[in-house]
């Protein structure tokens, strides 16, 4: 037993007796409530009615859930789901005896959301906002960076998506799983995303970068997915097929991050349109 490591063994959430408010759910709701408040603040500054934020978050929320689910299915675990198609859309698992067991949706992937949300926001701008697609993405990138902080902190509370053993007496012991000091990769990501949020928030309020359409979203894409790429080296594989399948070093999450980083660089350095 290491006496230099931090032991992490939290409760599932706040027990009200008749209902448990899980920490992850609380973090998830906090991300959306604070995100909506910040978007309304930016919309007001841009001369847009704050009421336009309500449909924005409906588009974002629904597309995020669909995208994360389909990302898990097609990017990470198609070998399983191709033989269990019903489990893609129903929160249950078919047992060997032919019966069904309720499990909830057990797989989500952020790379799926990275595709689905921008697509949904394209239709949002067409139907609800007389602005360009990149105008919305620039502002959404700011609040999504903050949401990433809350969601990864929720993962830490749940003792999930943790890192590999540190190989030393330092690290975090996730008592719910084992007694080995590990990298708290959830916290590495969470606080990296929080720093990214403050950088983007500064760019929006204190510089003229928001006048260059796509620049803020480009910074978001480059920073967030680069962080994800490098932190993946320290993460424990969530399922066996995810780990080290390219050149015996890169996993699926890292490979999917590369084109997103390249798109970000293109947005940052392309000939940019000045917003009046």
> How many residues are listed for the chain in this entry?
276
Residue at which a domain ends, from 130, 158, 183: 130
- Residues in contact with 1: Cβ distance below 8 Å, sequence separation at least 6, in sequence order: 179
Q: Is residue 28 part of a domain?
A: no
The pLDDT of residue 131 is above 80: yes
> What is the per-residue pLDDT for 159?
87
The pLDDT of residue 4 is above 70: no
107 and 223 co-located in one domain:
no
Tell me the per-residue pLDDT of 65-77, one tens digit each, with 9 for 90 and over.
Answer: 898 888 888 877 7
Which carries the bigger pLDDT value, residue 162 or residue 94? Answer: 162
Q: Residue 85 — very low, low, confident or very high, per pLDDT cuts 50/70/90?
A: confident
| 3-state class (DSSP) for residue 71 | helix
Give the pair of three-digit tokens for residue 195. Answer: 């720093």
What value does the mean pLDDT take over residues 148-168? 90
Q: Is residue 237 part of a domain?
A: yes
Residue at which a domain ends, from 104, 130, 156: 130
116 and 169 co-located in one domain:
no
Q: Residue 225 — very low, low, confident or very high, per pLDDT cuts 50/70/90?
A: very high
Domain count, the chain: 2
Regarding pTM above 0.75, the answer is yes
Q: What is the DSSP letter of 250?
A: B
Q: Is residue 204 part of a domain?
A: yes
Give the pair of three-digit tokens for residue 264. Answer: 């970000």
Which carries the bigger pLDDT value, residue 36 or residue 110? Answer: 36
- Mark out the alpha helices in 129-242 (DSSP H runs): 133-157, 185-206, 215-231
């Amino acid at each position: 037993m290491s006496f230099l490591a931090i032991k992490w063994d939290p409760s599932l959430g706040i027990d009200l007796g008749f209902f448990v408010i899980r920490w992850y759910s609380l973090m998830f709701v906090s991300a959306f409530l604070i995100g909506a408040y910040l978007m309304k603040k930016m919309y007001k500054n841009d001369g847009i009615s704050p009421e336009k934020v309500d449909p924005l978050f409906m588009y974002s929320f629904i597309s995020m859930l669909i995208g994360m689910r389909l990302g898990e299915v097609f990017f990470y675990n198609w070998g399983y789901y191709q033989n269990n198609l019903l489990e893609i859309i129903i929160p249950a698992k078919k047992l060997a005896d032919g019966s069904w067991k309720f499990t909830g949706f057990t797989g989500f992937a952020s790379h799926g959301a990275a595709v689905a949300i921008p697509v949904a926001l394209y239709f949002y701008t067409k139907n609800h906002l007389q602005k360009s697609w990149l105008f919305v993405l620039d502002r959404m990138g700011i609040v999504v960076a903050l949401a990433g902080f809350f969601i990864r902190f929720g993962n830490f509370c749940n003792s999930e998506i943790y890192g590999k053993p540190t190989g030393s007496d330092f690290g975090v012991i996730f008592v719910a799983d084992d007694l080995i000091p590990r990298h708290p990769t959830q916290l590495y990501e969470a606080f990296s995303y929080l720093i990214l949020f403050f950088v983007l928030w500064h760019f929006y309020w204190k510089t003229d970068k928001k006048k260059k359409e796509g620049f803020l979203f480009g910074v978001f894409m480059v920073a967030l997915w680069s962080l994800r790429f490098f932190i993946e080296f320290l993460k424990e594989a969530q399922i066996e097929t995810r780990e080290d399948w390219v050149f015996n070093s890169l996993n699926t999450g890292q490979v999917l991050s590369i084109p997103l980083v390249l798109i970000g660089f293109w947005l940052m350095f392309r000939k940019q349109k000045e917003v009046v």
